[in-house]
Amino acid sequence: MYLLERINALVGEQGKAVGDSIVNVDTLLNHRIDYTFSAYAGTVLARVVQQQSIDVIFTAEASGISIAVFTAMTVNNEQWPHPASVVFAKKSRPITLPEGGYYAIDSFSRTRNRPVTLYLGSHVIPKGARVYIVDDFLAQGVTLAALGDLVLKAGAEIAAFGVVVEKAFEQGRRELERFGVPVVSLVKVTSLEGGVLNLAPPSLT
């Protein structure tokens, strides 16, 4: 429980409200990566699936990558010698993904305030794989739902969703209910009214 409390304390200390809808944690995750914070978050997120065999930790570029890597490190320590790989969906299609060699899902970026398309190479997540989807934020659930749909397109199975910061007042969990798997967040922001970052007591429930 100490790590969860420390994660919440760091977000409370360094997080900033941008208007009434955006949480800025760019000194922890989104611009400067505090690897200690990422290690804390990855350790706690790994607990969510510690009773399962996980094949892939899946996220979207770019802010979720550090969280996914540290989550995989803890998962792999516990299920060695069956390591989970880290995969991230790309937000543009590189020439290494030829026509017919990828899955694509349209989504929307809140921080960039524009539509984005997420791409997943058809060769990087095996069919039947158990996939743990992690990311930095859960707001309206659009990006996480798109990641979930990519997993299903690949013929794989979603084990759970895990995020670092949830803007609970935006009800993003509703968007994820259709997947029928656990959704866990480490930090729950209850409101940003008046430019103040209000957090719920630390809990994984």
Whether the pTM exceeds 0.85: the reply is yes
Instruction: Check residue 62 and give its pLDDT.
Output: 87
The domain tally of the chain equals 1
Instruction: Check residue 111 and give its pLDDT.
Output: 64
Q: Are 160 and 176 in contact (CB under 8 A)?
A: no
The DSSP code for 31 is S
What is the CATH classification number for the domain harbouring 94?
3.40.50.2020
User: Is 205 inside any structural domain?
Assistant: no
User: Is 180 inside any structural domain?
Assistant: yes
Instruction: Check residue 80 and give its pLDDT.
Output: 83
The DSSP code for 91 is S
User: Is 146 inside any structural domain?
Assistant: yes
Instruction: Check residue 82 and give its pLDDT.
Output: 87
Beta-strand runs (E) in the chain: 16-18, 22-24, 56-60, 85-89, 102-109, 114-121, 130-138, 157-167, 183-191, 198-199
Instruction: Check residue 113 and give its pLDDT.
Output: 72
Spans of the chain, pLDDT less than 50: none
Q: Which two tokens stand for residue 137?
A: 């934020």
User: Is 42 inside any structural domain?
Assistant: yes
User: Is 204 inside any structural domain?
Assistant: no
| Residue 15 burial by Cβ neighbours in a 10 Å radius (0-12, 13-18, 19+) | buried
The residue range of the domain holding 36 is 2-199
User: Is 93 inside any structural domain?
Assistant: yes
Instruction: Check residue 114 and give its pLDDT.
Output: 80
CA angle (164, 179, 122) in 5-degree steps = 85
Instruction: Check residue 79 and give its pLDDT.
Output: 85
Q: Are 42 and 36 in contact (CB under 8 A)?
A: no
User: Is 160 inside any structural domain?
Assistant: yes
User: Is 150 inside any structural domain?
Assistant: yes
